[in-house]
Amino acid sequence: MKIRSMEFLGENVMRGESLAGHWRRRSFYEWIKHSIEVGVIILTSPITLALIILLGIFVVLESRGGAFYCQTRVGLNGKPFTIYKLRSMRADAEKNGACWAEQQDYRVTRVGKFIRKTRIDELPQLLNVLKGDMSIIGPRPERPEFCFTFERDIPQFTDRLTVKPGLTGWAQINGGYDLSPKEKLEFDLYYIRHRGPWLDLRILALTVMIVLTGNGAR
C-alpha cells in the first residue's frame, strides 16, 4: 500500500507538465546551485559538525533517546527519502501517530525549544543536500501521510514536488508554521516559477533573520 501510494504521488507530479517543463529549462541553474551548495557545506563543515555534536550531547543528556531523529519525507517527483534532524521532542512524541507540531507543544524538550527556535535541529539535513535528496533552498519536504491528505483536498499540491525540497524556502520566510497547506502551496508554486539566484539570495538573507529572531518556531 505504501509503495502504491508513492507511485500515485509520482504520477500526479508527472501530470504537472507545465511545471515539469519549467524544471527542465532551469536544469543548468539547478546544477550550478547544487555545486555551490556542496562547496559551501564542505567549507563550513568543521563548524557545523562541532555544533551538531555539541547540541546532540545536550539532547541526549536531557531526555531518553538518541540525538538524531529520522523520518521519511517525499522529495523530487514523489520519491521518498530519509530526512535527518536533531531530536527536539520526547522519544515517545508520536506514540499515537503522526501529528502537526503546535504552539507551546508539550512534547518539545527544553533543548528542543532552543534548537527549533534557531532552526539548528535542521542542520543534519545538510547531509541530505550532499546526497542530492534536498537543496538548501526549496519547498519544505512533507511526510507521505500528509502529502496524500493534502493532494486529496488541495488540487495541484504535488506540483511542489517538481523541484528538490529545501532546508528553507519562500513559504518558510512568509509564514512558515502559521501557513495553511493551501497558502504554503501558493508560496511554493511562486518559488518554483520564479526561482533564480536573486530570489534564492533573498530567501537566504531572510532565513538568517528568522534564525536570529526565532520568528515562526514551534
Q: Provide the residue type at 18 as one letter.
A: S
Distance CA 64, CA 129 (A): 28
Q: What is the pTM of this model?
A: 0.79
In a domain, 198, yes or no: yes
Percent of all residues in the chain with a pLDDT value above 70, rounded to a whole number: 78
User: Of the given ranges (39-53, 73-87, 88-102, 160-174), which has the lowest mean pLDDT?
Assistant: 88-102
In a domain, 35, yes or no: yes
Q: Phi-psi bin for 95: left (phi > 0), alpha (psi -120 to 50), beta?
A: alpha
In a domain, 14, yes or no: yes
Distance CA 208, CA 203 (A): 9
Residue 67, all three cell numbers:
540525538
Distance CA 67, CA 30 (A): 32
pLDDT tens-digit readout, 22-67: 555 567 888 899 999 999 999 999 999 999 999 999 999 988 888 8
If pLDDT is split at 50, 70 and 90, which confidence band does 4 have?
very low
Q: Provide the domain limits for residue 112.
A: 2-213
More confident residue, 113 or 11: 113
Distance CA 28, CA 11 (A): 24
CB atoms within 10 A of CB 190: 14
Identify whether the C-beta of residue 14 lies closer than 8 Å to the C-beta of residue 159: no
Count of the separate structural domains present in the chain: 1
Q: Is 128 exposed, middle or buried (0-12, 13-18, 19+ CB in 10 A)?
A: buried
In a domain, 218, yes or no: no
Distance CA 180, CA 141 (A): 15
In a domain, 149, yes or no: yes
Which residues are within 8 A (CB) of 104 and not within 5 positions of it... i.e. 6 or more apart? Answer: none
Examine the pLDDT at 92 and tell me if it is beyond 70: no
Average predicted confidence (pLDDT) for the chain: 81
